[in-house]
Amino acid sequence: MKQTPGKKLRVALLGCGVVGSQVIRLMREQADDLAARVGAPLELAGVAVRRPGRARDVEVDPELITTDAEALVTRDDVDIVVEVIGGIEPARSLILAAMNSGKSVVTANKALLAEDGATIHRAARDNSVDLYFEAAVAGAIPLIRPLRESLAGDHVHRVLGIVNGTTNYILDKMDSSGASFSDALEEAQALGYAEADPTADVEGFDAAAKAAILAGIAFHSRVTAADVHREGITEITATDVASAKAMGYVIKLLAICARSEDGRSFGVRVHPAMIPRTHPLAGVREAYNAVFVEAESAGQLMFYGAGAGGAPTASAVLGDIVAVGRNRLAGTRGPEESTYADLTVHPVGETVTRYHVSLDVADKPGVLARVADMFAKQDVSIQTVRQEGLGADAQLVLVTHRASDAALSATIDSLRELDIVRDVVSVMRVEGEDAS
């Protein structure tokens, strides 16, 4: 691209941790290429951090470091603000202050966008500045732009994905080496995949935030994290993983955004699910992410790559900085939806899928018939049933045909009332058998 003589674009970076340090490194190492792509050199105007004396993964000119992030984002010589602090505050106030003083913003902050994206999007519109957030979902994988731009002329039916690297790493380790949950989590933390508080990963909050963002874009609607049904992976045991494996399944934490059949509503949920080992998502190993999109005309699309880690996430941030830089030089703004579809988010009870149910039962005649009767009473059809173990170890393992979450929950409640059911050992959704 031809460079604008004398023009520089000044970037204020908020945060210099796992992601921020890699943004600085790449801006420095690729300065000439970036200048050519944007049309003007990018220059670091300042770096706001919390603990200025801390050792960092990248060398930063001490003159650039500040703890006064607010002063940095409102400075007249700053064009673009990159927020990689994370969390709700002070990130939200800083982004709003930046936009109110005319800066375009790039952020990787899924927690904030899922909690209060409406406020941030409105501020971008009101101030005629850009808001780009490719890194907020699935790290390095280009996903926001394909959904927001490339598929803008299509009708998305379903988005099904592995969007949290930490939990995929943990479940993959449990599956491949029989590791315990806590050992696998420790490894994921040491590799820098986990959030500062791993609860956000293992309890599904991080994936739920990403699911809210994806559903909002895919279905042109306002969706917040509170709209997402969320279950984490802390209850998954080595036994669950081994028994899924024995049946030809693998357990993954999935984010699922799906339109109802009449197209007027959609559901958004995050939970562990069994998927057949032949499904493309089953081959997504370690901390990788992958997202399956099903659209009316495009059909099935799959996006795959590194969903976490400093350099991969910084790659997505840099892509956004280039896009924002080009827009600023051209005096334009990127795509932003100004009106929203009138779709509602339906409750998880209306979800229709298949279930794997494992029960500890008394080992005596008539047990199978009584259990089957409870399923029949709720109109839940059983596809397969298997008895394992004998006497005190007797278990029934059932897989249902497609049924609603509400019907399955009612079935489980009634099974708990039966004297012959000693324990409901596990109930897990089975997904992905309809993907070719």
Residues near ligand LTNE7NMQ (CB under 6 A) are: 139, 164-166, 193-195, 201, 206, 307-308
Compute the Cα dihedral for 158, 164, 167, 170 and give only its sign. Answer: positive
- 17 annotated ligand-binding residue: yes
Identify the active-site residue in 8, 210, 252, 377: 210
Q: By CB under 6 A, which span of 72-80, 102-110, 268-276, 403-411 interacts with ligand NDP?
A: 102-110
Is residue 204 within 8 A of residue 198, CB to CB? The reply is no
Q: Is 389 annotated as a binding residue?
A: no
CB atoms within 10 A of CB 261: 9
Out of 117, 204, 309, 325, point to the residue binding ligand NDP (CB under 6 A). 309
| DSSP for 86-141, written as a single string | -SSTTHHHHHHHHHHTT-EEEE--HHHHHHHHHHHHHHHHHTT--EE-GGGTTTTS
Nearer to ligand LTNE7NMQ, 124 or 308 (CB): 308
Whether residue 380 is annotated as binding a ligand: the answer is no
Q: What is the DSSP string of 335-392?
A: ----S----EEPPGGG-EEEEEEEEEE--STTHHHHHHHHHHHTTPPEEEEEEES-GG
Q: Which of residues 70-99 bind ligand NDP (CB under 6 A)?
A: 84-86, 90
Whether 7 is a known active-site residue: answer no
Tell me, what amino acid is at 316? A
121/144 Cα distance (integer angstroms): 15
**At its nearest, how many Å lie between ligand NDP and the CB of residue 62?**
13
Beta carbon of residue 175, minimum distance to ligand LTNE7NMQ (angstroms, whole number): 17
User: What burial letters (b/e) apply to 409-428, b meaning 16+ CB within 10 Å?
Assistant: ebbbebbeebebbeeebbbb
Q: Which does 69 bind (CB under 5 to 8 A by kind): ligand NDP, ligand LTNE7NMQ, none?
A: ligand NDP
Give the one entry of ligand NDP, ligand LTNE7NMQ, none that residue 161 binds, where binding means its C-beta sits below a cut-off of 5 to 8 angstroms depending on kind.
none
Distance CA 95, CA 86 (A): 11
Do the annotations mark residue 19 as ligand-binding? yes
Q: Is 350 annotated as a binding residue?
A: no
In this complex, which beta carbon is closest to ligand LTNE7NMQ, that of residue 110 or of residue 328?
110
Q: Binds 201, which of ligand NDP, ligand LTNE7NMQ, none (CB < 5 to 8 A, cut-off by type)? A: ligand LTNE7NMQ
Residue with tokens 């559903």: 215
Residue 301's beta-bridge partner residues?
293
Residue 15 contact among ligand LTNE7NMQ, ligand NDP, none, beta carbon within 5 to 8 Å by kind: ligand NDP
Q: Whole-angstrom Cα distance, residue 342 to residue 355?
A: 31
Here the tokens at position 156 are: 């998305």
Q: How many whole angstroms separate alpha carbon 233 and alpha carbon 199? A: 10
Q: Is 195 annotated as belonging to a binding site? A: yes
- Would you say 49 or 225 has its CB closer to ligand NDP? 49
DSSP 8-state class, residue 311: H
49 is in the binding site of which of ligand NDP, ligand LTNE7NMQ, none (Cβ under 5 to 8 A by kind)? ligand NDP
Point out which span in 106-114, 117-125, 245-253, 330-338 binds ligand NDP (CB under 6 A). Answer: 106-114
In whole angstroms, the minimum distance from the beta carbon of 288 to ligand LTNE7NMQ comes to 10
Instruction: Tell me how far, at minimum, the Cβ of 286 lies from ligand NDP, in Å.
Output: 13
Q: Is 16 or 345 the residue whose CB approaches ligand NDP more closely?
A: 16
Could you say which of 4, 33, 50, 178 contacts ligand NDP (CB under 6 A)?
Answer: 50
CB 170 within 8 A of CB 250: no
| Smallest distance from ligand LTNE7NMQ to CB 206, Å | 5
Q: Which residues contact 200 (CB under 8 A, 6 or more apart)?
A: 111, 206
H or E, element range at 10: strand 9-14
Q: How far apart are CA 134 and CA 128, in angstroms?
A: 19
CB of 91 to ligand LTNE7NMQ, least distance (A): 15
Helix axes 165-177, 238-246, angle to 10 degrees: 70
Instruction: Report H helices in 203-309.
Output: 205-218, 238-246
In the bound state with ligand NDP, the residue whose beta carbon lies nearer, of 50 and 264, is 50
State yes or no: 20 annotated in a binding site: yes
Q: Which residues participate in the annotated binding site for NADP(+)?
A: 14-21
Name the residues that contact ligand NDP, by CB under 6 A.
Answer: 14-20, 48-51, 54, 69, 84-86, 90, 108-110, 135, 139, 196, 308-309, 313
Q: Which residues participate in the annotated binding site for L-homoserine?
A: 195
Q: Which residues participate in the annotated binding site?
A: 14-21, 110, 195
Q: Which residues participate in the annotated binding site for NADPH?
A: 110
Q: Which residues have a catalytic role annotated?
A: 210
